[in-house]
Each structure stands twice: as structure tokens, then as C-alpha cells.
């Protein structure tokens, strides 16, 4: 494990009222840091951060990250910026491709430009989606990115996040901006909504309400799910790692499960009598929708940089999500 820098004391989180951002804010506050959040609430929610308002070190601003004068003030007051603001969820991406591209590229452009003026470290959240249709599993950070055709809106998200990565790394190489790019793999846990197509909370809500659990495609596609608390701890650790600067790092679990197996697991853990129903991709999204059969990270680099990787098994994660929705 490489030597860590002193822990920052002031953090700015773009998209901080979102699922991951709000958990990150809580984690940093627990570490004794001051945290400022900016979010336009397009996919985030005040309910995610209401419990943080009483904390003396917490502040929030409801605004678009592309408001440069406002963001410049927030950047000035931060030591590290966690850039999580982005269009999220397959359903939103397919239904709103213009918003996806404009949000992802535009927000990152503004964040990097303002951070560069002040030399502030930026942790840029990317996604496993950038690996696209690459079949060389597990994915390593230097693997080729294999995108689908531009006529299929499904690939707009992956391409926009790849551009974010290129831009962040260009700022690092050309202007010395300290950046870390993190590729997140299916982060899940309590508080996540199924509103934009996130599979685990969708399955849990369906199971608890007695609705059919809807599996898109044939259910053989597999994913690796990581508990949000472990993911945000990794992000905070990477922000302290000098060796991570200028690097792309996979952040996720390497424990793989098929979507059909996940549906069966949720049904069992919830004690549900729901049927499991297969839904063709064309019916769920659009004609010609493409999905990746497997998405598994190689987390060797993360282990080397911070000394740990997400470990919680999917059964324990699912139990926590079921408990969360039952308590609601």
C-alpha cells in the first residue's frame, strides 16, 4: 500500500444529494471533515441529506454545477472535490440522451476548469459502462473501451463518461492538475431508489409489494454489486493517495452474480411469493437495446493503492436494502 497524504479537512461534493454523494458526505463528516454539497436535485433528493443538516460541518447549495460564479466560490473553500454530478440510471440515459451528454460533459468541463485555477485535487467518478462491449473479463483499467454505434442512445452515457476521463487526464498531463478517475461498478445499498432503473432496489420493492419481479433479457447477464459504505470509504482513501493521482482506478466488488440469481435471492430473502417475469429488452427500453453479458472489475490497483477492496457479499447487501424498505 502506498503512503497516504494527510487527510483533507474540507471537501466539496458535486451531486452530493444523490445516493452515493450523500453517503460520501456522511462518511467524510464522520472523519471530521467539513463538507459542502452542490446538487440541482434532478436525480438527487433533499431526503438523502436532511439528516446531515444538523451537523456543524455540513452545508449545501441547490444549484446547477454549471453555475460558474457559484461553483468557483465553493471550489475556493475546498481542499478536494469529489465530482459525482452526472446523469444516472439506464432508463434516464435511454430516455434523455441529450440531457445525459450535456450534463456529464458540461459539468465535468466546468469542475475541472475551476479546480485547475486553484490547483485543487479532483476525484472524478466514472463508470464501468465505459468498458462497453469489451469481453475481456475481468476488466483492467488499461483495457480497450469497446463502444456500440452512435445510432443507439444507450451508448451516449458510456461515451460521455469516457470523454470526462479523457478531459480529466488531459488536465493532469498538460497542466498538472491532481486528478483521480474512479470507475464505479454497480454501487448499491440502503437509500438507493429504483426510479432510474437501478436493479436491486427495483427487485426489493417488487418483492415486498407482491408484484412480479421483472428481469430484463434472459437474466443470464451478470454484475458485481458493491456496498455503498465500502465504496465511499475507498473514494475517501483514494483522495489521500498520492500514488493515485493521474490514475484510473476500478472501484467495486469482484463477486459476480447473474441478474436471474439476484432476483431469486431477493425473493428468498424477502420471503416473497412474487413471480419472476422475463421482460424483453425491446419492451423495457427500445428496439435494438444492447446489454453487456458480464461486467467484472480487476481491483488489483485499488488494493495496491489503499490496501482494501469492497468485500460485503450480495446477500448481506440485499438484506440491508430489504430492511431499509421494510422500515419505510
What ranges do the domains of the chain cover? 10-187+226-253+295-311
pLDDT of residue 94: 72
pLDDT of residue 203: 97
Q: Is residue 145 predicted with pLDDT exceeding 60?
A: yes
pLDDT of residue 277: 97
pLDDT of residue 288: 64
pLDDT of residue 7: 72
Segment 249-259 shows an average pLDDT of 97
pLDDT tens-digit series, residues 190-233: 999 887 678 999 999 999 999 999 999 999 999 999 999 999 99
pLDDT of residue 194: 80
pLDDT of residue 90: 67
Which secondary-structure segment (H or E) carries 191?
none
pLDDT of residue 291: 84
Structure letter (DSSP) for residue 89: S
pLDDT tens-digit series, residues 7-33: 778 999 999 999 999 999 999 999 999
Q: How confident is the model at residue 244 (pLDDT cuts 50, 70, 90)?
A: very high
Closest to 260 (Cα-Cα) out of 222, 293, 296: 222
Segment 147-158 shows an average pLDDT of 87
Residue 299 corresponds to which cell in the numbers above? 481491483
Instruction: Tell me which fold the domain 10-187+226-253+295-311 belongs to.
Output: Rossmann fold (3.40.50)
Torsion, Cα 14 15 19 22, to 10 degrees, reads 50
Within 10 Å of residue 176's Cβ, how many Cβ atoms?
A: 12
Q: How confident is the model at residue 5 (pLDDT cuts 50, 70, 90)?
A: low
Q: Residues with catalytic annotation? A: 157
pLDDT of residue 95: 77
Closest to 191 (Cα-Cα) out of 15, 17, 11, 12: 17
pLDDT tens-digit series, residues 40-67: 998 899 999 999 999 999 999 999 999 9
Segment 303-314 shows an average pLDDT of 97
CA distance 197 to 71: 30
Segment 89-97 shows an average pLDDT of 72
Average pLDDT, the chain: 94
pLDDT of residue 196: 66
pLDDT of residue 322: 98
* Rounded-to-5 percentages of helix, strand, coil across the chain: 45, 20, 35
Q: How confident is the model at residue 240 (pLDDT cuts 50, 70, 90)?
A: very high
Q: What are phi and psi of 236, to 5 degrees?
A: -65, -40
Q: How far is residue 199 from each of residues 76, 144, 193, 240, 296, measured CA to CA in Å?
A: 38, 26, 9, 32, 16
Q: How far is residue 323 from each of residues 189, 191, 202, 316, 317, measured CA to CA in Å?
A: 10, 11, 14, 11, 10
Amino acid at each position: 500500500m502506498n503512503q497516504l497524504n494527510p487527510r483533507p479537512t474540507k471537501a466539496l461534493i458535486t451531486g452530493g444529494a444523490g445516493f452515493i454523494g450523500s453517503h460520501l458526505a456522511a462518511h467524510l463528516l464522520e472523519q471530521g471533515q467539513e463538507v459542502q454539497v452542490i446538487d440541482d436535485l434532478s436525480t438527487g433528493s433533499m431526503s438523502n441529506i436532511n439528516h446531515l443538516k444538523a451537523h456543524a460541518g455540513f452545508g449545501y447549495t441547490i444549484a446547477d454545477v454549471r453555475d460558474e460564479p457559484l461553483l468557483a466560490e465553493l471550489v475556493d473553500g475546498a481542499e478536494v472535490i469529489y465530482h459525482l454530478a452526472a446523469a444516472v440510471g439506464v432508463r434516464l440515459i435511454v430516455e434523455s440522451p441529450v440531457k445525459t451528454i450535456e450534463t456529464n460533459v458540461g459539468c465535468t468541463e466546468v469542475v475541472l476548469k475551476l479546480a485547475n485555477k486553484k490547483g485543487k485535487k479532483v476525484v472524478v467518478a466514472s463508470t464501468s459502462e465505459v468498458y462497453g462491449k469489451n469481453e475481456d473479463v475481468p476488466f483492467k483499467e488499461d483495457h480497450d473501451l469497446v463502444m456500440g454505434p452512435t445510432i443507439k442512445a444507450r451508448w451516449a452515457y458510456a461515451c460521455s463518461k469516457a470523454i470526462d476521463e479523457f478531459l480529466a487526464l488531459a488536465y493532469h498531463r498538460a497542466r498538472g492538475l491532481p486528478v483521480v478517475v474512479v470507475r464505479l461498478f454497480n454501487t448499491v445499498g440502503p437509500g438507493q431508489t429504483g426510479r432510474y432503473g437501478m436493479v436491486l432496489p427495483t427487485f426489493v420493492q417488487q418483492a415486498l409489494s407482491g408484484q412480479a419481479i421483472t428481469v430484463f433479457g434472459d437474466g443470464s447477464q451478470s454484475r458485481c454489486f458493491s456496498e455503498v459504505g465500502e465504496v465511499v470509504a475507498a473514494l475517501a482513501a483514494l483522495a489521500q493517495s498520492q500514488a493515485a493521482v493521474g490514475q484510473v482506478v476500478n472501484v467495486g466488488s469482484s463477486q459476480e452474480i447473474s441478474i436471474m440469481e439476484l432476483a431469486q435471492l431477493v425473493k428468498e430473502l424477502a420471503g416473497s411469493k412474487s413471480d419472476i417475469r422475463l421482460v424483453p429488452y425491446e419492451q423495457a427500453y427500445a428496439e435494438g437495446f444492447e446489454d453487456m453479458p458480464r461486467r467484472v472489475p480487476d481491483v488489483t490497483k485499488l488494493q495496491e493503492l489503499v490496501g482494501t477492496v469492497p468485500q460485503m457479499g450480495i446477500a448481506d447487501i440485499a438484506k440491508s436494502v430489504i430492511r431499509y424498505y421494510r422500515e419505510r
